[in-house]
Chains A and B, each alone.
Chain A
């Protein structure tokens, strides 16, 4: 059973920078896993932010960026805004099948 691991929770100050990571139980995450990142606020459906490691959608704020960092997929928020407080999920693909991480609850405080 493949497991995708994210930090359960992180706290960041407004205007600060934070990096969320996404690790695979199978080893280093590469672009071949097509990392995706989603944001979900309470009571709302998830919204996609990043696909294929670092590609943004037209609605993705410029302060969000995706990368590979130290064998993991990473989502970096630079200049965090209060409205960025949310749950963030990564999604990795393994030969076609997708696996979500458990999510990171980001608190802006």
Chain B
């Protein structure tokens, strides 16, 4: 059973880059069974799909993030990451890493606050 754990700074300054890592345990980041996904939820709001990478070769993003998001994989560390540039207060949210579809896994989430 794959388990996921998010890590990264809880506070990011406006205009800076948010950087989060998801550590995968109980399975391989190389597996083609998993769609490594980032999702966020602003306080009191609904879920927002950020993007996913599949088999480290195909990556899809939410068009509304206007190319600010980058998802990458570190096979040596069995991790995948999210970078979100030029953040504003609107990017304050709980960020979840997950694998959706046939093989489901979901991290506990990490709150990132954008504030000076």
Number of chain B interface residues as a range: 20 to 34
Binds A, one of B7-15, B46-54, B80-88: B46-54
The yes or no answer to B102 lying at the interface (CB within 8 A) is yes
Known A-B contacts A1-B64, A45-B96, A45-B109; the reply to A100 vs B48 at CB < 8 A is: yes
Binds B, one of A11-19, A20-28, A46-54, A64-72: A46-54
B106's partner among A48, A100, A103 (CB-CB below 8 A) is A48
User: What's the Cα separation between A98 and B96 when bound, in Å?
Assistant: 15
When distances are taken between beta carbons in the complex, the residues of chain A under 8 Å from B48 are 100
Q: Are A51 and B108 closer than 8 Å at their CB atoms?
A: no
When distances are taken between beta carbons in the complex, the residues of chain A under 8 Å from B47 are 38, 40, 46, 89, 91, 100, 103
Q: Are B60 and A97 closer than 8 Å at their CB atoms?
A: yes
Shortest A4–chain B CB gap in Å is 10
Q: Mark A22-39, 1 if CB is under 8 A from B, else 0.
A: 000000000000101010
Q: Are B60 and A51 closer than 8 Å at their CB atoms?
A: no
Q: Are A97 and B100 closer than 8 Å at their CB atoms?
A: no
User: What's the Cα separation between A91 and B98 when bound, in Å?
Assistant: 14
Q: For chain A, what secondary structure do more than half of its interface residues adopt (helix, strand, loop), or is it mixed? A: strand
* Count of residues in A whose CB is under 8 Å from the partner chain: 24
When distances are taken between beta carbons in the complex, the residues of chain A under 8 Å from B100 are 36, 48, 51, 91, 98
When distances are taken between beta carbons in the complex, the residues of chain B under 8 Å from A101 are 46
User: What's the Cα separation between A40 and B44 when bound, in Å?
Assistant: 12
When distances are taken between beta carbons in the complex, the residues of chain B under 8 Å from A103 are 46-47
Shortest A25–chain B CB gap in Å is 14
Question: Which A residues are within 8 Å of any B CB, using their own CB?
Answer: 1, 34, 36, 38, 40, 45-48, 51-52, 55, 57, 87, 89, 91, 96-103
In the complex, besides A98-B37, A98-B62, 12 extra interface pairs with C-beta distance below 8 angstroms are A34-B101, A46-B47, A46-B96, A52-B101, A89-B47, A91-B100, A96-B58, A97-B49, A98-B100, A100-B48, A100-B49, A103-B47
